[in-house]
Amino acid sequence: MPAPRLSPAVVVGLLGLTQIIGYGTTYYSFAIVADRVGATFGLPTSWLFGLFSGTLLIGGAVAPWSGRQMDRRGAGRLMAAGSAIAAVALAGMALAPGPITFAAALLVLQAGAPLILYEAAFTALVQAGDRAARTHITYLTLIAGFASTIFWPLTSELVAVLDWRLVLGLYAGLNLFLALPIHVLLSRQRAAHDPAPVSPGEHAGGQLQATTARLFLLATCGFALSNLVLSALLAQMVPMLQGLGLGAAALLVSTLFGPAQVGVRFVNMVFGAGRHPLFVTLIAAVATPLAVLVLALTAPAVAGAAVFAMLLGFGSGLKSIVQGTLPLALFGSEGYGALMGRMAQARQFAGAIAPFLFAFMVDHIGAEGALAVLVGIGCLGVAAFLEIARMRRGVPWDARVSRGKSAA
């Protein structure tokens, strides 16, 4: 028997909860447990971050396939499978007797991550078939923005009193007993209200005209470059701030990132509803390198680091929204899952090399030099979105896009 139809607000709330669990357990917690894992296995922390970067590449490789499967089978079904994979992988990491088995379990975790994170959740909302997908994506990211605020301090407190293995075991339980049932419920929702399937040949990515193909390339590069900067900083936020001389204040400062994400999403929800997503994208793209510049110029001042964390939260918070709404506005809703998968692949590859690249730069040119390079990379991302704006000159910032079924 089909599950009772849930209201859009309930669907968004449930997806928001699973996004907090997904990002918290598969991404944000790693930087906190890495040094303890290294101590257990006799490995340098830098090696573990290199391993983490490598496994993120696997997630990027899987993303296009997972996006196509979401178009064909429904995002809810794929998210349920992803939660099961995450639970098994986290349990495998917790039980790993040595570094090889730990690495194998981490690889499985990141291979399954595209099935449960933003691209999957955005696709689930778009597949609802209404014209409020853009608004619902904004609401979803508003909730999910608490992932770092919850899981950075939570993981720090847990590893202070529990063995890291038990902590990862608890996180496996969150995916198995909370996220998985929610995704199963959502998969039954879509099963009862399936939109017409999208065949592989209908995906807009295969029939792009030259101008649209260029827009796709620019948007993909812009998001990838921005993600590289964010991933480099977020994967090592607390250790990096401590290394810059903030000491015990580093953890407190880092907790500003999450509320800043949520705050800017709320502001965008209230005041940005009539704006074209490209306008919001440009704000997000500028905020990220600006945050890094502030940190480079003011460290180890706590006030400067606080401004850095908030600006970075602003950029990250808006980017999480627009990487779902800008493709919807530019390319429409047909084949949205596959399109998001292709864009996610580039973002994942950039994000995968970021933690190792940043650690390498810090070792060889110092923290200040590494931050300067990140500023330059972030500015290249801004340039990509400015070129999109130039190509779309004459289109009002509050324009509604006519192409696609749900381009609101």
Query: Which is more confident, 92 or 328?
Result: 92
Q: Measure Cα distances from 353 to 20, 24, 361 in Å.
A: 23, 20, 12
- The whole-number pLDDT of residue 262 equals 79
- The whole-number pLDDT of residue 191 equals 45
Contact 331, 339 (CB under 8 A): yes
Burial class of residue 302 in the structure, from the number of CB atoms within 10 Å of its CB (0-12 exposed, 13-18 middle, 19+ buried):
middle
Residue identified by tokens 């193909």 is: 213
State the Cα–Cα distance between residues 241 and 96, nearest whole angstrom: 30
- List domains and CATH numbers for the chain: 8-193+207-391 (1.20.1250.20)
- The candidate with the shortest Cα–Cα distance to 149, out of 318, 18, 309, is 309
Residues of the chain above pLDDT 70, percent: 89
Please give the average per-residue pLDDT across 127-145, as a whole number: 80
199-249 pLDDT, tens digit per residue, is 333 344 444 467 778 888 999 999 999 999 998 888 777 777 887 888 878
Residue type at position 252? L
- The whole-number pLDDT of residue 220 equals 94
- The whole-number pLDDT of residue 288 equals 94
251-289 pLDDT, tens digit per residue, is 788 878 878 877 888 888 877 767 888 999 999 999 999
- The candidate with the shortest Cα–Cα distance to 348, out of 120, 78, 53, is 53
Q: Which two tokens stand for residue 261?
A: 């994400």
Sorted by sequence, the CB contacts under 8 Å of residue 372 that are 6+ apart come out as 296
* Residue 402 clears pLDDT 80, i.e. is over it: no
38-88 pLDDT, tens digit per residue, is 999 999 987 888 888 788 888 888 999 999 999 888 899 999 999 999 999
Q: How far is CA 197 from the centre of its chain?
A: 26
pLDDT band at residue 250 under the 50/70/90 scheme: confident
